[in-house]
Amino acid sequence: MKQLKKVKTKREKAKYPALDPTLNLKTRWEEIMDIGEYFFDLPDEAKEWMNKFTEEFVCDKLNRKNLKKNLHNTKKLKKACDDKNNQRNRDVYTRAKARGSAVYIEDLNKKDSAILGLDEYENELNEVESKKLNE
């Protein structure tokens, strides 16, 4: 029987896949984007370390059979990685942003805000604030 060659994915071909937002889940983008600003100024050794750290801490990709090969090499550190990943997966707002269905207040127009009653609420807040300032 003929062996099939495993095709390398785009993520496997990349040099630092954990630090490339386009090669990760959308729920992880925010954490990865924070790293990207100064990442390119680092030497290669530091980039490799940062990629490994991000793979473990953000992506929760650990060597679970041999913890000593990980940067997060204790049960407590491994649990911290797992907990962070589970928190992100449970977060409704993060999942809505990833789907593109999150509603931001800045995006609401006057008609939408009137339907939700935000205009009245905002007016009440303004009145309270102006009373405080006049006292």
CA gap 125, 129 in Å, rounded: 6
Look up residue 127 and give its two tokens. Answer: 């009145």
Identify the DSSP state of 40: T
**pLDDT per residue as tens, the chain (135 positions):** 677 888 888 888 888 888 888 888 888 888 888 776 677 788 989 889 888 888 888 888 887 777 778 888 888 888 888 888 888 888 888 888 888 877 776 666 655 555 566 667 677 777 878 877 786
Give residue 72's domain range: 10-102
Q: What is the pLDDT of residue 114?
A: 59
Identify the DSSP state of 7: P
Domain assignment of residue 3, yes or no: no
Domain assignment of residue 131, yes or no: yes
Is residue 40 domain-shared with residue 84, that is, in the same domain?
Answer: yes
Is residue 83 domain-shared with residue 26, that is, in the same domain?
Answer: yes
Computed from CA positions of residues 81, 85, 90, 91, in that sequence, does the dihedral angle turn out positive or negative? positive
CA gap 105, 113 in Å, rounded: 9
CA gap 105, 103 in Å, rounded: 7
Asked if 35 contacts 19 with a C-beta cutoff of 8 angstroms, the reply is yes
Specify the amino acid at residue 130.
S
Look up residue 114 and give its two tokens. Answer: 């009137």
Is residue 33 domain-shared with residue 48, that is, in the same domain?
Answer: yes
Count of structural domains, the chain: 2
Domain assignment of residue 1, yes or no: no
CA dihedral defined by 18, 23, 25, 28, rounded to 10 degrees?
A: 40
Residue with tokens 């911290």: 80
pTM above 0.85, yes or no: no
